Structure 1
């Protein structure tokens, strides 16, 4: 696999980056990941040159985005950080398979329970690698990044980080429904 392909699929962390260890610098890795998404997309996905694929060929995994239509950073992060099973942003813990595919807690537990009922080994829906409570780990950097993404209050339509939205809606919002 070439170094360009490794960067494209996220196999190798950049030398010296805090995301290589995922230990003490997990929060720094989350910030680095959020900041690096736009640059990485521009480097490997958006401005890729080459011949157009034949209409009978299967589509590439990355959809080419025309210049000037890359969208807001939040929108791009939603698609990168969402659960690969339900396609929603996780509300609590985020688990990842050995290849880095993300799953919310509900989907992860559902996959394990479903495979147990079928008496089969649970597998990641994306790459089919084996998953279990011992083989998968939480991705704290993604959890932190998701908690900081802005979301709209359903009552006043102002934007707040996901981590503080519930408190705002229950205690602070002037437009909330009270009894």
Structure 2
């Protein structure tokens, strides 16, 4: 069975001390017999404002490049999913001035995002909520002169994600 969802929510980047809004969609093919699925994930470009060291105003433009299909299962009303996503940073600013970023600036390895439904019973016909955690890898060496410093304030574990999946009509 094919299911299509819009998604909305947010992710908290722990090292950068900020929240980033997320929107996009997911087109899934669920094997009803096994409960396993594969899906095409789309995350729209977004931006976030952060307080580095708790007080330095910064911002980043963020884009996402899924690395292959998302996979997972829907068993006993519990949805679990995994997606690997390269995180791209076209622009990183501090006090409104560009300090890093670029067309090829990205995490050195994709984020490995594991999600699990939070509703008592996930119904694929009505959608629902999923949450998870992930680690952001350090930035690659294509983020400009100050990319290494910017990486310190972006990379690390303990990032959270919360999404609402809404069926497309």
| TM-score by shorter chain over 0.5 | no
With structure 2 as the length reference, what TM-score do the two structures score?
Answer: 0.19
**Higher helix proportion, which one?**
1
Higher relative contact order (CA 8 A, sep 6+): 2
Q: TM-score normalised to the size of structure 1?
A: 0.18
Higher Rg of the two aligned structures:
1
